[in-house]
Amino acid sequence: KLGCRSTDLNKEFSESKFVSDLLSNLSNKQDRIFLISFTSFGLRLQNDKIVNIGPGSRLVEKYDNKIEQVRLFKKLKLPVNITEVYKDINALKKAIIEFPSFISPAFTSGGAENAIIFSEKDLNIFFEKLRIINLDKEFFVARYIENIQCSPNSIGIICGKNDTRVLILTDQLIRGVKHTGNIYPSMASDENKKEMIGITKKIGDYLSELGFRGLFGCDFIIDETGKVYVVELNPRRQSCYLITQLMSKQIDLLEVELKIFMGEEIPKFSYDNIQCDYTWIHSKLKQHQEYQKITKEFKLNNEQTPFNKLGGVFSCSYFPADYLLNDCNYYGYYVSSGSNYDELLKKAQKEIENILLTTLKDV
């Protein structure tokens, strides 16, 4: 068995006869059917009773495109890296690319098809791994930023027109160019945090004018001089969605989401209402190489353990033993909390590597 991307899963879900029959049965029993998905990309459900607790699929698909994001950032006059856009793979192959550079196709998530290119060999490997969806789409090449101070991420929620509220700022855990998790709070300076919150609100308010509602996020890079670059828009829930829910003790974020899409009055809250006084880390359990099998299922504690007990750990696998993982998969989750950023990061890295060593095998 192979895992699939959430966009592929949405397509299968939308076309499934079983799902169609289930929705028909539910329609006969209730006025509304609530749906929560990681992303709305690819969802095509023809049922007027469905309330999708998330932004509309067409808008998500437009702004999931990395090239559209670059254009949006420039339109809003945000601090962006130097980039060149190429209309297709043929134009990219003919281009003279300066090494090293960061390169990305139009559609990718978590760094799955992004690459840092140091040579022609790296470029050829990049071409070989592209999915069909990206072959006739645009690409961008960006200046490689060295000596990165940190790579923060923001989570925001668009509650209404020009009503964007930032929930948290974290630092991303990056392996190569692939996102593996987040640690809270971000180590960015107060000045940088203020700038990133402002950028997130500006993007959110623009999207709100187009009808976007619900959760989204932005990825940033801060270089060694303290300069902030916005590098990516995530028009969907992100991998620390659940963790943000659990850390928020004053505000029920799921209730906020529900009220947005039910058209009900939304409670007043701000960034400060969401913050907590400890640090936490979450990580996707992701193999180091392609095509490995899971040796065993496992689960330690539950999702609330790290938030009820400082130092607590939750970890689990999502798939059964002998499940075959490809390069885009992660097969489990790890969460822990602590009182010190650096100590928690070191502890988590050691425990995560131990999980990978004891629960995966090469094919």
Give me the CATH topology for the region 82-143: Dna Ligase; domain 1 (3.30.1490)
For residue 60, pLDDT beyond 90:
yes
Q: Would you say 107 and 39 are in contact if contact means Cβ atoms under 8 Å apart?
A: no
In the chain, what are the helix, strand and coil shares in percent, each to the nearest 5? 35, 30, 40
Q: How many CA atoms lie within 13 A of 90 on its CB side?
A: 1
DSSP string, 287-312: -SSSSEEE----EES-TTHHHHSTT-
Q: Which residues contact 76 (CB under 8 A, 6 or more apart)?
A: 202, 203, 206
Task: Please state the domain extents for the chain.
Answer: 6-52, 82-143, 148-362
Q: How many CA atoms lie within 13 A of 260 on its CB side?
A: 25
Q: Do 148-362 and 82-143 have the same topology in CATH? A: no
pTM confidence score = 0.91
For residue 112, pLDDT beyond 80:
no
What does the alpha-carbon distance between residue 166 and residue 157 come to, in Å, rounded to a whole number?
Answer: 6
pLDDT at 29: 93
What average pLDDT score do residues 180-184 get?
Answer: 97
For residue 168, pLDDT beyond 90:
yes
What average pLDDT score do residues 264-281 get?
Answer: 96
Class of 148-362 in CATH: alpha beta
Q: Would you say 254 and 90 are in contact if contact means Cβ atoms under 8 Å apart?
A: no
Q: Read off the pLDDT of residues 62-105 as tens digits, 9 standing for 90 and up.
A: 999 999 999 999 999 999 998 899 898 888 888 888 899 999 88
For residue 2, pLDDT beyond 60:
no
* Torsions phi, psi for 55 (to 5 deg): -65, 160
Q: Read off the pLDDT of residues 124-148 as tens digits, 9 standing for 90 and up.
A: 888 888 888 788 888 889 999 989 9
**Which band of pLDDT confidence, cut at 50, 70 and 90, is reported for residue 160?**
very high
